[in-house]
Amino acid sequence: MMATSPFVTADWLKERLAAPDIVVLDASWYLPAQGRDAEGEFRAAHVPGAIRFDIDAMSDETSPLPHMLPRPEVFSSRMRALGVGDGAQIVVYDGMGLFSAPRVWWMLRAYGVRDVAILEGGLPAWIAAGYPTEEGDAPPRERRHFTARLDHGAVADAQDVARALERGSAQLVDARSGPRFRGEEAEPRPGVRPGHMPGARNVHYAALQANGRLKDEASLRAAFAEAGVDLDAPVITTCGSGVTAAIVSLALETLGRPPRALYDGSWSEWGSDPARPVATGPA
């Protein structure tokens, strides 16, 4: 499934939806400003047989930071409770086409899952293809054995980021909007300073998308080049809380330039720590 692309099409999924080893996860998650209800939308319409994957419920509840990866044993337990087991071919989608699904794609890969793909165009593409949806809550599934083995190299912490900036060992690519990156807008989370990490580059995730899908290879390369990102050098991706950074990671993956890591704490952590340096203005 993952031989050539991290994506599968709606047609591909429809042909295989009844296969016993296919597991579909609805990973829809929305920012408060978007005014959408992921749970309500799932109950109204989802891919038949899909399981609701709640990013917040699957995160580290002991951390004050949003969406942080939980310990591997905790993630394993929660995946077992969802009825997702080792050896499954997992397809992830979201209700915007391409927004939160990459975060779950990255999470699963960080925990050692390799047979995971994203439904190209998400639920909108499934519906546009004329395929049916289901209503209501997903029925309980039989518990399966799931083993999470965290790839620590896929996850960067604040110290990793500080070392990369100091030594120039990796580029920091920030997926937030230009105004937030430059410090022209207040951050949505209380206590988080505006601005960016000194030396970071800004590639807004929206510049990599069109109509709920990644842009073509030439457009992706142009977006990175415009931001001064060297695709032949290591990259750590970051954003506000670790969700849209995964869109940048996904784009790099499709270009054959997988990033070194994703900074899980992202700006929510860095910007709230007065000991960390902050820059404003353009990169």
Catalytic residue among 239, 247, 248, 283: 239
239 carries an active-site annotation:
yes
| Strand-strand pairing, 89-93 and 51-52 | unpaired
User: How many CA atoms does the CB half-sphere of 113 hold within 13 Å?
Assistant: 29
Distance CA 162, CA 110 (A): 21
Catalytically active residues, by annotation: 239
